Each structure stands twice: as C-alpha cells, then as structure tokens.
C-alpha cells in the first residue's frame, strides 16, 4: 500500500514525501508505502507502514484505488492500493525511519518527480480528495479546531486550485450549518475575524 498524506501549511496544500534510501529508486522522493501484513486490513497495514517510515500514527485513511500495471515495479511484481489521509502537520511531527533517509512536506504545486508510478497515485489521490470535498467536512482534519472563514476558504482554494468568491463561499458554508461561530475573534490578524468550529 501507499498513501498520499495531505497537510495544509503556509496557506498551501502539501503532500508528505519520503526519500528512499535503498534501490530501486534510491534517493528519489515518493509516497510512503510498504507491504501488507497478515492479520490486518489494508487500512491497518498502511497505518503501520506510515508509522514505521515517518512516525505518524493512527490517521483515517480513505481508499483511492488499486494499481496493478505489470511493470510498475522494476524488480518484482508489486500491486498496490493507494490511500489518502488528511492531517495537521503540527500534530504529527515526522521523522525518517527505516529505509527512509528524509521526510518532507512538499507544496503540492511544486512536487518533484516521484519514483515508481507515484506521480499518478498522487494525482489520483488529489482528484479523489476533490471529489470528496463537499460530501463530508474532511477539512476538519486539516485545520485547527478553531479557524476563520478565510482560512477555510484558503484551504478550499488550495485543494480545488481555483479562486472562490468570498461572499458566496461564506454564504454557502454558513448556510450548510456544518460550521458554527465560537464568539471568539482571532487576534494578531487585521480585521479581527470571527473564529468558527466544525459542528459535531
């Protein structure tokens, strides 16, 4: 399994990549991935893999799809199922472990070329994420507990890669009833914007 871990930092959608320390694709960046374990589901296994490579643990994984091209691994036959997850980078400090020499958050718009067929997996994961955007307020995993509507809009714009009308966005989000005001204002930012939180 492989997983596309998305984060949101400095107003940009980011993707967690690992640098591989062994052949094939030594020193190339790619999605964290590894092999399945007996007695565990794919979701459990991918979480274990993620922990073993980056120290991140217990995140909700959403399935993207399975890949089975015969030559997708240059040495042996490897199928993979790709997942994506959304996390707050500040809650999940990362460290390189095992056969990984480096771990970095890359701005999704400035990804390096990835090893294996991971360029494809990353793209498919983003499309899946976009498709899921309106269904469930998954962004809860990407933002702090309390956030301004501007922060939420920046997140949407990063994921969708398009600009949104501020008034219409605000209207749509508030009408959905899925976020509610906390009656607190964010300090340190001009305008003193209201803080909101996800309604549970």
- Cβ 55 vs Cβ 152: under 8 Å: no
Nearer to DNA, 60 or 185 (CB): 185
Helix axis angle, 118-132 relative to 149-160, nearest 10°?
Answer: 130
**CB-side exposure of 32: number of CA atoms within 13 Å?**
35
Tell me the window of 13-21, 36-44, 86-94, 111-119 that interacts with a second copy (CB under 8 A). Answer: 36-44
> Which residues lie below 8 Å from residue 153, measured CB to CB, with a gap of 6+?
164, 166, 169, 170
Show contacts with DNA in window 138-177 (CB under 7 A).
148-150, 165-168, 170-172
x-or-dash pattern for a second copy, window 68-107, by CB under 8 A?
A: xxx------x-x-x--------------------------
Q: Check binding of 41 to a second copy (CB under 8 A).
A: yes
The span from the CA of 87 to the CA of 159, in Å, is: 14
Q: Which of 60, 65, 127, 171 binds a second copy (CB under 8 A)?
A: 65
The span from the CA of 95 to the CA of 52, in Å, is: 10
Q: Which of 63, 104, 107, 153 binds a second copy (CB under 8 A)?
A: 63
Residues that bind DNA (CB under 7 A): 148-150, 165-168, 170-172, 185, 187-194
């Amino acid at each position: 399994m492989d997983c596309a871990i998305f984060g949101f930092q400095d107003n940009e959608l980011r993707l967690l990549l690992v640098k591989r320390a062994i052949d094939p694709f030594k020193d190339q960046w790619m999605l964290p991935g590894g092999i399945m374990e007996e007695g565990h589901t794919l979701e459990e296994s991918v979480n274990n893999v993620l922990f073993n490579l980056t120290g991140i643990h217990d995140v909700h994984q959403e399935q993207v799809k399975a890949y089975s091209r015969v030559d997708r691994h240059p040495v042996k036959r490897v199928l993979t199922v790709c997942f994506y997850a959304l996390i707050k980078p500040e809650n999940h400090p990362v460290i390189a472990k095992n056969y990984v020499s480096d771990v970095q958050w890359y701005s999704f718009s400035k990804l390096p070329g990835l090893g294996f067929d991971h360029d494809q997996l990353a793209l498919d994961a983003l499309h899946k994420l976009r498709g899921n955007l309106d269904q469930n307020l998954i962004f809860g995993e990407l933002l702090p507990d309390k956030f301004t509507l501007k922060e939420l809009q920046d997140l949407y714009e990063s994921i969708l890669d398009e600009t949104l009308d501020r008034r219409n966005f605000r209207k749509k989000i508030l009408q959905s009833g899925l976020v509610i005001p906390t009656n607190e204002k964010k300090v340190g930012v001009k305008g003193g914007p209201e803080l909101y939180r996800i309604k549970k």
